[in-house]
Amino acid sequence: MKKPLRLFFSLIVISILVAAFLMYERINSPDGRTGRVLLWLREPQEHRDWAVQAGESCQGSPFIQPTDGFIGYLWNDSFRPGHHHQGLDIFGGEQAGVTPVMTAYDGYLTRLPEWKSTVIVRIPEDPL
């Protein structure tokens, strides 16, 4: 392989490794969203001030908080290119099946049998 071509491929490999390292650091940083989720999951009792309370709402919002817990991921967050999250992920800080959940607005609470700890609130007529 000619020297310029080898140099080009070496730069590509180094760029990919640097990008992967930076993504790993961002995901696992306590300052990043995933880092905070991991801190919450490891020790929810240490971070109760991060939690929302079921039944509360933000000023002017038609929705209520459906459960107690930490809002880890938000609508439109992106976990991979071309994919955008379609809701809010609220981590209760308890074992699966223990945290009570209510609908945030008139709609349907869905939980499929194969889901360990997930429910979806479907709101047919979103007021927003």
Round to whole Å and give the CA distance between 45 and 24.
26
Dmax over CA atoms of the chain, in Å, equals 66
pLDDT at 2: 72
pLDDT tens profile 27-57: 555 567 788 888 888 888 899 999 999 989 8
Average pLDDT over every residue of 86-107: 81
Can you give the residue ranges of every domain in the chain?
51-122
- The answer to whether the beta carbons of residues 99 and 92 sit under 8 Å apart is yes
Q: How far is CA 3 from the centre of its chain?
A: 45
Report the C-alpha gap between 54 and 78 in whole angstroms.
26
CA dist., res. 87 & res. 84, Å (int)? 9
Q: Return the closest-CA partner of residue 65 out of 102, 33, 120, 100.
A: 102
Let me know: does 123 contact 81? Beta carbons within 8 Å.
no
Q: Quote the CA–CA distance of 83 and 122 in Å, as a whole number.
A: 19
Mean of pLDDT values over 52-75: 88
**Average model confidence (pLDDT) across the chain:** 81
> 2-33, pLDDT tens digit by residue?
777 788 887 888 888 877 766 665 655 556 77
Do 69 and 51 meet the contact criterion of CB atoms below 8 Å apart?
yes
